[in-house]
Amino acid sequence: MVNQLTNNQARLNGVCLPQQSIDCWNCPVIKDRINVAELIFRRNIAITRRLREYIFKFSDILRRSYGEDYVFKIMDFCGTHEWTIVHFGIRSLVPNNVELVAGPGCPVCVTPSYYIEQTIKLALEGVVVYTYGDVFRLPALKPVNDARSLAEAKALGADVRIVHSIVHAAIDAGKHGKDSVFVGIGFETVAPGYAEAALKNLLPSNLKLMSLVKLTPPAAFYSLDILREKPNDCPVMGVIAPGHVSTIIGGKAWTPIVENYGIPVVVAGFEPNDVLMAIAEILRQLARNDIRVVIEYTRAVKWEGDVKAQSSIRTVFETVDSAWRGIGYIPKSGLALRPMFSKFDAFEYFGIKDLTPEEWRYDLPPGCKCAEVTLGKAKPTDCPLFMKQCTSDHPVGPCMVSMEGACAVWARFGGGGLSMEIAKDLGLVM
Ligand code: SF4
């Protein structure tokens, strides 16, 4: 953490001080730059009104071409976009021929139960487990010694510690020297941090990385394919691509969606106006038959992405087929440590056998529709357990845990324009 004098120097000079600070959220330079741009998008009602007019204008043009009953499905692939959409009631701002569909954008939701069970087992055997807060309550399918989550393992006496990053885990593990594991769940956004920690040899010898990183474009292609299999349904006609992930992989990573599916992609930020702008741009492209990838989130995303981060990831990790919870293996959708970095590998050090496609089994609890929700085939309210057996306090399935999980977001903020539908499903109104 930088001290006040250094903060002021940094602010004046506009420089990054990575040596002095490991906490970018408290970096004065980053704060100043982000706040100005974010506030313009967040607080400007005039922009919101104008965007809504555009959305209605283009949806009317499309209605005349496609007919009254055609619904333009737009998929958001990022859990944080779903959070913005629900939290700010964006579904209530779009016309009825536009439907916003949540996609597979929550890494906690899609991590197979097998790995949660293995980390619970390690924790109960005395290994110190470092994890992010939303992984802590993630329910496994099979209990291990009566513990169905790392939170329950901690209640039984295990040493489970919540951290913000692998660097925090490294600093802490270096102090106690006990066998430790960092549960490396996440998408492309977290991978550069893991890669740099390995490249710079930041991990103490007692801390190992369990790489459970998933890659978003292969999952996006997979879910678009699945949704096209429903012949009587309107297909997804546009994609709001994840802003954070795209800071790493760049706008160019989404061009296969344009080339293979012929639908627009807009890389968007996370303020309500960002999302409205993405919807307006997708409808504009469809109305004018001008289909391409557009980066709306230009304050953070470049076409090429972060080339240095991509290089670090390639050096440390190899792309592997990876299992997604409730869904199964998606080709080339995960990152595993390369053999030359095996000294950091938790699977190798603790002798944990990795899953294989032959051994993978459907791993959601009975009745849970997380796989369908994750793939955009169902809404949280389609699940018979939603807000009955499965609630934020007592999550049954993985989508009810993280603030990036669609069920958790809908449970906490109501579903925006669909709140009446939820209330009807729950029998609260007729
Ligand atoms: S409501 Fe719970 S059980 Fe149902 S799909 Fe969502 S997380 Fe799974």
**What does the alpha-carbon distance between residue 91 and residue 84 come to, in Å, rounded to a whole number?**
10
Ligand 1 atom 3 nearest Cα: 368
- Atom index in ligand 1 nearest the CA of residue 364 equals 8
- Atom index in ligand 1 nearest the CA of residue 372 equals 5
Looking at residue 5, its pLDDT comes to 40
Confidence class for position 216, pLDDT limits 50, 70, 90: very high
- Using the mean position of ligand 1's atoms as its centre, give its distance from the Cα of residue 408 in Å: 9
**201-212 pLDDT per residue, tens:** 999 999 999 999
Looking at residue 234, its pLDDT comes to 74
Least confident window among 21-25, 81-85, 216-220, 409-413: 21-25
**What does the alpha-carbon distance between residue 318 and residue 297 come to, in Å, rounded to a whole number?**
28
Looking at residue 305, its pLDDT comes to 97
E-state strands within 132-254: 160-162, 180-186, 207-213, 236-241
In a domain? residue 232? yes
In a domain? residue 231? yes
Ligand 1 atom 1 nearest Cα: 386
**What does the alpha-carbon distance between residue 327 and residue 333 come to, in Å, rounded to a whole number?**
12
In a domain? residue 14? no
- Using the mean position of ligand 1's atoms as its centre, give its distance from the Cα of residue 393 in Å: 13
**What does the alpha-carbon distance between residue 29 and residue 112 come to, in Å, rounded to a whole number?**
39
**What does the alpha-carbon distance between residue 199 and residue 185 come to, in Å, rounded to a whole number?**
19
**370-423 pLDDT per residue, tens:** 999 999 889 999 999 999 999 999 999 999 999 889 999 999 886 544 555 555
pLDDT mean over 45-68: 93
User: Which range marks the domain in which residue 74 is found?
Assistant: 55-430
Confidence class for position 430, pLDDT limits 50, 70, 90: very low
Is the pLDDT reported for residue 317 higher than 60?
yes
Looking at residue 44, its pLDDT comes to 79
* Of 267 and 415, the one with more pLDDT: 267
Distances (CA, A) of 385 to 104, 329, 422: 20, 26, 13
Count of positions (residues) in the chain = 430
Ligand 1 pocket, mutate which of 389, 400, 412 (most atoms under 8 A from CB): 400
Is the pLDDT reported for residue 348 higher than 70?
yes
In a domain? residue 42? no
Looking at residue 47, its pLDDT comes to 87
Q: How far from chain centre, in Å, is Cα 70? A: 29
pLDDT mean over 307-327: 97
Ligand 1 environment, Cβ below 6 A: 368-370, 373, 380, 383, 385-386, 390, 396-397, 399-400, 407
- Using the mean position of ligand 1's atoms as its centre, give its distance from the Cα of residue 365 in Å: 9
130 DSSP β-pair partners: 161, 182
DSSP assignment of 64-128: HHH-TT--EEEEE--HHHHHHHHHTTGGGGS-TTEEEEE-S--HHHHS-HHHHHHHHHHHHTT-E
In a domain? residue 324? yes
pTM here? 0.86
Question: Do 183 and 107 touch, CB atoms closer than 8 A?
Answer: no
Nearest to 271 by CA among 41, 98, 49: 41
- Using the mean position of ligand 1's atoms as its centre, give its distance from the Cα of residue 87 in Å: 19
In a domain? residue 7? no
pLDDT mean over 223-248: 86
Is the pLDDT reported for residue 11 higher than 90?
no
Mean pLDDT value across the chain: 89
Confidence class for position 163, pLDDT limits 50, 70, 90: very high
**What does the alpha-carbon distance between residue 410 and residue 385 come to, in Å, rounded to a whole number?**
13
Looking at residue 232, its pLDDT comes to 59
- The domain tally of the chain equals 1
- Atom index in ligand 1 nearest the CA of residue 385 equals 4
Q: Which two tokens stand for residue 359?
A: 């051994």
- Atom index in ligand 1 nearest the CA of residue 378 equals 5
Q: If you search the block for the tokens 């999980």, which residue do you land on?
A: 405
% of the chain at pLDDT higher than 90: 75
In a domain? residue 50? no
In a domain? residue 206? yes
Least confident window among 14-18, 93-97, 112-116, 181-185: 14-18
Confidence class for position 158, pLDDT limits 50, 70, 90: very high
Q: Which helix (H) or strand (E) holds 328?
A: strand 328-337
The domain that holds 156 is classified in CATH as: 3.40.50.11740
- Using the mean position of ligand 1's atoms as its centre, give its distance from the Cα of residue 161 in Å: 26
* Of 311 and 24, the one with more pLDDT: 311
376-406 burial string, b = 16+ CB within 10 Å, else e?
Answer: bbbbbbebebbbeebeeeebbbbbbbbbbbb
Ligand 1 atom 6 nearest Cα: 407
Is the pLDDT reported for residue 98 higher than 50?
yes
Beta strands 317-324; 328-337: pairing state? antiparallel
